Chain A
Amino acid sequence: MNPHAPGANPAADIDLQPVAPGSERGSLVALIQDLVFTVDHKKLGLMYFGSGLLFFVVAGIMAALMRYQLAIPNHGFLEPDVFNRLFTMHGTAMVFLVGMPMIFAFANYLIPLMIGARDMAFPRLNAFGFWIFLFSGILLFFSYIAGPGLYDAGSAPDVGWFAYSPLTARAFSRGHSTDYWTISILLGGIGSIATSINILVTIFCYRCKGMTLGRMPLLVWLYIVVAFLVVIALPPLSACQIMLLLDRFLDAKFFDTQAGGDAVLWQHFFWIFGHPEVYILILPGFAIASEVIPVFSRKPIFGYPVMVAASVMIAFISLGVWAHHMFAVGMTSFGNTFFAISTFLVAIPTGIKIFNWLGTMYGGKIRLRPPMLFCIAFLFQFLIAGLTGVMLAVAPFNWQLTDSYFVVAHFHYVLIGGLLFTIFAGVYYWYPKCTGRMLDEKLGLWHFWLFTIGFHLTFFPQHIAGFLGMPRRYYTYDAGRGWDEWNLISSIGVVIQAAGILFFVYNLLHSYFKGAKAGDDPWDAWTLEWATTSPPAEYNFEKPQVVRSRRPLWDLKHPDDPDWKYE
């Protein structure tokens, strides 16, 4: 048996792979028809990825416009309201229309393959989740056209992505832009919860023979944690969106301070969703890193049980830290101390994870291919993001740092330096599986270096602008406050990042047609998705899989020294 084609999938030899009707390349109508009617987890995964990428480019262009406005002081390129809409739409889109579909893209595509299942547990619910997400995204952007409402007040939402009340009240946000924002998020939340329940049921009920919970790939474990967090954290968000709708349409006065409502109530509701949301977005990043780093270090993950425990701990703690977003709203000294302490606790399991990844690399043979490069950059950037997070957790220091550009830098280090870099790693790693072709290595290196340099150039100076007192969400600023240079450097970095993204998108398209043939297992990897063809047939596996360890393909490739002897 060829060790590089383990599982000896006969589909490759006798060409059993059926062609789904209408899926031939070239027939656009047939393709659209296929995409609309499909309930296949792999196609839905790719559709999540494609629409996420589309929204990413749109929201990225919005960011570039803002950086152009801020490149020099007193720049007259954008009017204040236009700018305010841009940052609101950029933030909302990046979190709900890029981050969420991206993590569900990987979940959808990989989880059934990794646990040796035929599909997700509820394929139709899966399709429902995708389409309602896409609809919510289109609805949000439709507000640019339909948001004006009566008297032409408003256009797209301009209340910021966390939409603090009472700025969202009828008195301060006229027209219907805020309603579009609210309903869009409400719908997206329904999709996310549906997909998460689907993920949980799939993982708990559809694992192949021999795959105990303790033998699942770490990615699958982390998605259990993520899905639980979504199911717990999204309902408060939906609740407060419904309260806001009641306020705006039926004068419910939950947040109407003129009538005795409470402005801070919104913040509690929003952040008890919003902080777990950060982990909902970053844990899939950890998940990808935990798959890529072992394969490219040629060693199993160091301390698997501890990695699982640390992830569960992060999720638990993350449910009790939300008010660290609110240190400046005037909580009691007891409240501030409590939330500072709970926030520090997150550092412990996070530190364990970083050390365990380093432990995995230590003593290995590290292959510096694009997926691994993105993971190494991720480790470095996530370290910075974690440390600036520790600084922000020091409540008194937070009174200076919060709502300044320091915070902007911090969460971009988390979400770009952490999540986006691992998404890139994941794309380079699994693209051969999804398409049967390798991504071009040279273009990948251009993408990696341009994007990494541009990223640091853009976001590192923002820490310093924050130290010098620059608040976030400013459409303009005066010269002479010490902010000019840092903003200019930051804006220059955007150009370099954009060049990197161009290489990436070009690579995706180019390699789809011209890339080298990948084969089933191009990385010599160990988890089940590499045991089937690339791309996998609609039924995933030719015959039911049986596993005896966490690395079933290692066992096949090394029958003399299999993993199950040590677990």
Chain B
Amino acid sequence: MNAAAAPTHDSVVKRAGAAGGWKFAARIIVAISLLASGAFAQTTIPETDPPLRPIQNMFEPLSTPALKIHETSIPVLLICAAIFCVVTTLLVFIVWKFRQRNEEDRHVEPPQVYGSSHIELAWTVIPIIITVVLILITARTIGEIQNAKIPDDALRIRVIGHQWWWEVHYLKQNENGEWVTDFIAANEIHVPVGTREEPKMTHMILESSDVIHSFWVPQLAGKTDLVPNRKNELWIEPWATGTYLGNCAEYCGTQHAKMKIRVIVEEQDVYEAWAQNQRTPPPPPPANVALGHKLFMDYACANCHTVDGTIADGVFGPDLTKLMTRRTLGSGAVDNTPENLFKWVRDPQAADMKPGCLMPDMKMLDSEVREIVAYLETLK
């Protein structure tokens, strides 16, 4: 893959200047890929994902459940702001008006008032009314989000939390009508975009293989925990393309902070092309990486990672069959560049990688690492 075109941390930092450029580039690429699909009757995967959406402001929702939460939050915020203004004004007024002005004042006590049931009743009833309003608003939104119907054309996926990465199963229905795994991805979740009029739902079943995690991409939906031994549900209906950045939001151990999520919302045909590529088993490794392939299988790599069509079928780490279609390594720890891939394979415990992650430093020779990386770079 073309490393220069991959979104880098730099691109996040310089977003203000570069955002327009990225959008433009992405459009051109989409256009080219559309052209290509016409010309060769086969869509290719674009070299870049749609532009990053690094600022996940929950008040700028781009998906139905996030929008519903946003619409609920506005009246709540207004009510709270009104209460804040009234009470603060009262407080400031009272302190100012009734402060003791001079020492003379000290010797005369003010009138002693013990209470007033009328006033107290008034300031009991008003909060009760506000509370009832809040209850009604809240109950409605809870129902709308939690009891939503899953449409037939929804994309269904299963997200499984691991310390500290995400396993993603895309599901299909078998002949008995059961939902079974179509293909497996990791950390970067590609979904098709819809419109506000014709939403396209992606429905997720959330599970965990070890401790509790939480899936949170604020512009798409509120967070839901991934609890071992339970199946939780989350759905999104995004209407804007983009690479949404999210995070694990329930403390899950050492590298909780680097358990990042990318949800890549893209046009339907781009998504289809990506999914088709993910389904396709990789060709046998070319001869020039045979050594790297052998090292990968001989060392412990194959015990934890899966590469379809080989003897590597470990399930403790992410499936690497399509490693090079991903933009990041280590669940968003670093960008997937050849240089980073080398550093990662050599020692993922390095301070600038993901210290504490469960992939050990294998203490390989640099030459061996280079061979393995050469092999990994063919997995696309």
Enumerate chain B residues within 8 angstroms of A469, measured Cβ to Cβ. 56-58, 216-218, 246-247
Is B88 in contact with A380, judged by CB distance below 8 angstroms? yes
Using C-beta atoms within 8 Å of the partner chain, give the interface range for chain B. 35 or more
Is B275 close to A, CB under 8 A?
no
Known interface pairs A329-B227, A399-B69. Does A263 touch B123 (Cβ–Cβ under 8 Å)?
no
Enumerate chain B residues within 8 angstroms of A391, measured Cβ to Cβ. 73, 76-77, 80
Is B88 in contact with A337, judged by CB distance below 8 angstroms? no
* Residue ID in chain B nearest A359 by CB atoms: B119
The stretch that binds B, out of A130-138, A279-287, A296-304, A449-457, is A296-304
Q: Which of B72, B119, B223, B253 contacts A403 (CB 8 A)?
A: B223
A18 to chain B, nearest CB (A): 36
* Residue ID in chain B nearest A481 by CB atoms: B54
Q: How far is the CA of A203 from the CA of B49 in the complex (A)?
A: 68
Known interface pairs A397-B76, A469-B56, A482-B57. Does A333 touch B142 (Cβ–Cβ under 8 Å)?
yes
Is B179 close to A, CB under 8 A?
no
Is A362 in contact with B135, judged by CB distance below 8 angstroms? no
A501 to chain B, nearest CB (A): 25
Indicate with 1 or 0, residue by residue over A304-333, a CB within 8 angstroms of chain B CB atoms.
111000000000000000000000111011
Is B351 close to A, CB under 8 A?
yes
Is B115 close to A, CB under 8 A?
yes
Is B83 in contact with A364, judged by CB distance below 8 angstroms? no
Enumerate chain B residues within 8 angstroms of A263, measured Cβ to Cβ. 211-212, 227-230
Q: Which of A356, A380, A471 contacts B216 (CB 8 A)?
A: A471
* Residue ID in chain B nearest A404 by CB atoms: B249
Is A298 in contact with B109, judged by CB distance below 8 angstroms? yes
Is A351 close to B, CB under 8 A?
yes
Is A128 close to B, CB under 8 A?
no
Q: How far is the CA of A563 from the CA of B143 in the complex (A)?
A: 54
The stretch that binds B, out of A22-30, A116-124, A342-350, A510-518, is A342-350
Is A330 in contact with B222, judged by CB distance below 8 angstroms? no
Is A167 close to B, CB under 8 A?
yes
A526 to chain B, nearest CB (A): 11
Q: How far is the CA of A300 from the CA of B54 in the complex (A)?
A: 55
Indicate with 1 or 0, residue by residue over B167-187, a CB within 8 angstroms of chain A CB atoms.
000000000000000000000
Enumerate chain A residues within 8 angstroms of B250, measured Cβ to Cβ. 164, 328, 403
Is A354 close to B, CB under 8 A?
yes
Is B4 close to A, CB under 8 A?
no
Q: How far is the CA of A258 from the CA of B229 in the complex (A)?
A: 8
The stretch that binds B, out of A46-54, A75-83, A191-199, A218-226, is A75-83
Known interface pairs A79-B355, A297-B98, A361-B98. Does A351 touch B210 (Cβ–Cβ under 8 Å)?
no
Enumerate chain A residues within 8 angstroms of B145, measured Cβ to Cβ. 396, 399
Is A442 close to B, CB under 8 A?
no
Is A333 in contact with B143, judged by CB distance below 8 angstroms? yes
The stretch that binds A, out of B39-47, B191-199, B254-262, B286-294, is B254-262
Is A499 close to B, CB under 8 A?
no
The stretch that binds B, out of A94-102, A232-240, A472-480, is A472-480
Enumerate chain A residues within 8 angstroms of B79, measured Cβ to Cβ. 390
Is B69 in contact with A400, judged by CB distance below 8 angstroms? yes
Is A345 in contact with B115, judged by CB distance below 8 angstroms? no
B85 to chain A, nearest CB (A): 11
* Residue ID in chain A nearest B111 by CB atoms: A363
Is B72 in contact with A396, judged by CB distance below 8 angstroms? yes
Q: How far is the CA of A262 from the CA of B12 in the complex (A)?
A: 40
Q: Which of B110, B137, B142, B233 contacts A363 (CB 8 A)?
A: B110
Binding site for B on A (CB under 8 A): 76, 79-81, 84, 158, 160, 164, 166-167, 171-172, 257-258, 260-264, 297-300, 302-306, 328-330, 332-333, 336-337, 340-341, 344-345, 347-348, 351-352, 354-356, 358-359, 361-368, 376, 379-380, 383-384, 387-388, 390-391, 393-400, 402-404, 467-469, 471-482, 558, 561, 563, 566-567
Between A and B, 9 residue pairs with Cβ closer than 8 Å are A84-B253, A158-B254, A332-B146, A363-B110, A363-B111, A387-B84, A390-B134, A397-B76, A403-B216
Q: Which 5 A-B pairs have the closest CB atoms?
A: A399-B222, A469-B56, A480-B12, A330-B232, A303-B115
User: What 15 new A-B contacts, CB under 8 Å, besides A263-B227, A302-B114, A393-B138?
Assistant: A166-B212, A172-B210, A297-B110, A303-B115, A333-B147, A348-B128, A383-B87, A384-B84, A387-B80, A395-B138, A396-B138, A396-B142, A399-B224, A468-B55, A481-B56
